[in-house]
Chains A and B, each alone.
Chain A
């Protein structure tokens, strides 16, 4: 992946946040990162009975938005995401595909009755962005405690891992796509 598009979804006034994630993604994947202007209609993915946004629908929109390109695309949403069978997700990605989406909604300490902390929020967002884009590069969950590809179901799990790939995952990333 030499190019990644970042697409903000319901994320007004977060230019600094987008720039920060761009730099981290660029570093992690040695990729050129471009922020695309917001053109998605997230309301199409809204489920009124759950009050949440269907992340699979958002992935479809991201793919449509960037159709014709081979670049990866990462949506960064400010809304709560779900997949139909689960109560919520921090993000979703196509395994060995192009599109991924992450949400800041549940990464914010303020959601858990704690004082808001932007540094922690950015830290978590970096990790989840790299994690989901890792899936698009064919990586599955990793058992290494600090590898960014370790699965996280609680925000505290995200804090425990690093933003780096472990040696094995890094080797898989470097391998030709077919052998991953």
Chain B
């Protein structure tokens, strides 16, 4: 902060002190104001903000100590420097305990004063930088927040809210691409640990021996090639969160070691002789049936109970098709910025194609599909032909038996129900009628769900 932009308030009941400091700091280019009493100082603070306050401890009426605590309550960012003519260790300690930046004895050495003020300015700048960075972290961590308006996602968000502020171990279940890591990051970003790292490790991607050294670290010479000491991911997550993806793949030895680390909050490096205390929170994820693994004896029951304290199940994208348009628009907007490409809309036909597809790769696949569509799109609008997948021909098993309006309607409803795998909400949306009407029509036309989810219109000819 250049001095020209910094402001100083001098509070002292002695006119000569106020005047001499006023002139001194003005020559340094500061915006300076003075106040002859604590009451006047508080009035000045209400009118404009100050970066630094130089404050006399002994004043008639409200003294400097009292004023300091009021200033601190008003704005803890203001750097307060206490001045006194009568140095005493007691007052100095009291002032510093109350949050004063420093304490000087009058008269002040000119050199001490200029150092003090430049240190105070640095402190103030760091405070500002710190709060800006915190805001940036908050923005960054919320930028990719879990998106979705479906009841299933509302439930997930509610669970994230419930568990984020606690220290509980969380298990996230869901198919590949449903956003398990994003949920883990969201929990971390909303927890008190957010200013410490979230350290992810994909247990399934590493062979057992490597995973052990990755997780626990190793001492120099612990094994051939271990030429240097190395911190493990558990230690790197100190103060923060360790995200263990594909937890179901770890071997029984690793399960024992991990359980011990979780229970004792201590980590022993490979080849190490003494444990290191680490403060971490664990979030696990898996797309495997852990209960089955436990029943088969391939996953330790005690570890299972340890990590399965709070479980969040993420729905597959096909189970929340109503979120597809919102998600697609979100990715379009995000990628448009990243790619600096003007793609501003998704055509209704493309949206229908997106909603009809099954998304085995879930949200990740959707994001990739939108990215590809944006690359190939020439019109600024994503059209069905830009999308890189083919929706299996809708079960066009319903050719109307006659040209009557009723038969046409029955056949069309059957096609739409087939497309949406009998998701009534979606089908009603596509048909632009409400759900109750759709139910009535299904009942009236005797439509039934066939095996595999296709609609079967009684009396219709097979295609």
Interface residues of A (CB under 8 A from B): 50, 56, 82-89, 92-95, 135, 140-141, 151, 153-154
> Is B110 interfacial (CB 8 A cutoff)?
yes
Contact A153 B20, beta carbon cutoff 8 Å = no
Once bound together, how far apart are the Cα atoms of A153 and B114, in whole Å?
8
Closest to A132 in B: B27
- Binding stretch for chain A, among B43-51, B101-109, B188-196, B248-256: B101-109
From A97, which residue of chain B is reached at the shortest CB distance? B23
CB pair B29 A86 closer than 8 Å? no
Q: Is B14 at the interface (CB under 8 A from chain A)?
A: yes
- Give the A-binding residues of B (Cβ under 8 A): 3, 14, 16-17, 19-21, 23-24, 26-29, 83, 106-111, 113-114
CA distance A153 to B24 in the complex (A): 12
Contact A86 B20 (CB under 8 A): yes
- The chain A residue sitting closest to B14, CB to CB, is A84
Q: When A151-B114, A153-B114 are in contact, do A86 and B26 touch as well, CB less than 8 Å?
A: no
Q: A151-B114, A153-B114 are in contact. Are A84 and B27 (CB under 8 A)?
A: no
- Indicate if the CB atoms of A95 and B27 lie closer than 8 Å: yes
* Chain A residues near B29 (CB-CB < 8 A): 140-141
Q: Which residue of B24, B27, B28 has the most chain A CB atoms within 10 A of its CB atom? A: B27
A48 to chain B, nearest CB (A): 15
Interface centre among B14, B23, B109 (most CB of A within 10 A): B23
- Which of the residues A85, A94, A140, A154 comes within 8 Å of B20, measured between beta carbons? A85
Task: Identify A151's interface contact among B14, B19, B26, B28, CB under 8 A.
Answer: B28
Contact of B28 among A84, A86, A87, A141 (CB under 8 A): A141
Q: Which residue of B lies closest to A90 (CB)?
A: B110
Q: Are A140 and B26 in contact (CB under 8 A)?
A: yes
Write 8 A-B pairs (CB below 8 A) sorted by A numbering. A56-B16, A83-B16, A85-B20, A85-B21, A85-B107, A86-B113, A135-B27, A140-B28
- Contact status of A86 and B19, CB under 8 A, knowing A140-B29, A141-B29, A153-B111: no
Residues of B within 8 A of A88 (CB): 110
Residues of A within 8 A of B27 (CB): 93, 95, 135, 140-141, 151
What CA separation (Å) do A87 and B85 show in the bound complex? 12
For A141, give the chain B residue with the smallest CB separation. B28
Bound-state CA distance A161–B26 (Å) is: 21
On chain B, the residues within 8 Å of A84 by CB distance are 14, 16-17, 20, 107
Docked CA distance A56–B351 (Å): 80
Contact A89 B28 (CB under 8 A): no
Distance of A60 from chain B, by nearest CB (Å):
12
Task: Name the residue on B nearest A94 (C-beta).
Answer: B23
CA distance A9 to B288 in the complex (A): 93
On whether A154 and B111 interact (CB within 8 A), knowing A95-B23, A95-B26, A140-B28, the answer reads: yes
B83 proximity list for chain A (CB < 8 A):
85
Q: How far is the CA of A92 from the CA of B24 in the complex (A)?
A: 9
Contact across chains for B26 and A85 when beta carbons are under 8 A apart: no
Complex Cα–Cα for A89 and B106 (A):
14
Q: What is the minimal beta-carbon distance from B16 to any residue of chain A, in angstroms?
A: 4
User: Which residue of chain B lies nearest to A52 when distances are taken between CB atoms in the complex?
Assistant: B107
Q: How far is the CB of B209 from chain A (nearest CB, A)?
A: 58
B-side contacts of A135, CB under 8 Å: 27
The residues of A that contact B114 with a CB separation of less than 8 Å are 151, 153
Q: Enumerate chain A residues within 8 angstroms of B111, measured Cβ to Cβ.
A: 153-154
- Partner of B110 from the list A89, A94, A95, A140 (CB cut-off 8 Å) is A89
6 tightest A-B contacts by CB? Answer: A83-B20, A153-B111, A84-B16, A140-B29, A153-B110, A85-B20
- Min C-beta distance of A55 to chain B, whole Å: 9
**Which A residue's beta carbon lies closest to that of B83?**
A85
CA distance A84 to B85 in the complex (A): 11
A151: chain B residues within 8 A (beta carbon): 27-28, 114
- Bound-state CA distance A56–B15 (Å) is 12
Docked complex Cα distance between A135 and B3 (Å)? 17
**Contact of A86 with B23 in the complex, beta carbons under 8 Å:** no
Nearest A residue (CB) for B109 = A87
The distance in angstroms between the C-alpha atoms of A117 and B24, with both chains bound, is 29
With contacts A83-B24, A84-B17 known, what are 8 further pairs, Cβ within 8 A?
Answer: A85-B107, A85-B108, A86-B109, A87-B109, A87-B110, A140-B28, A151-B114, A153-B110
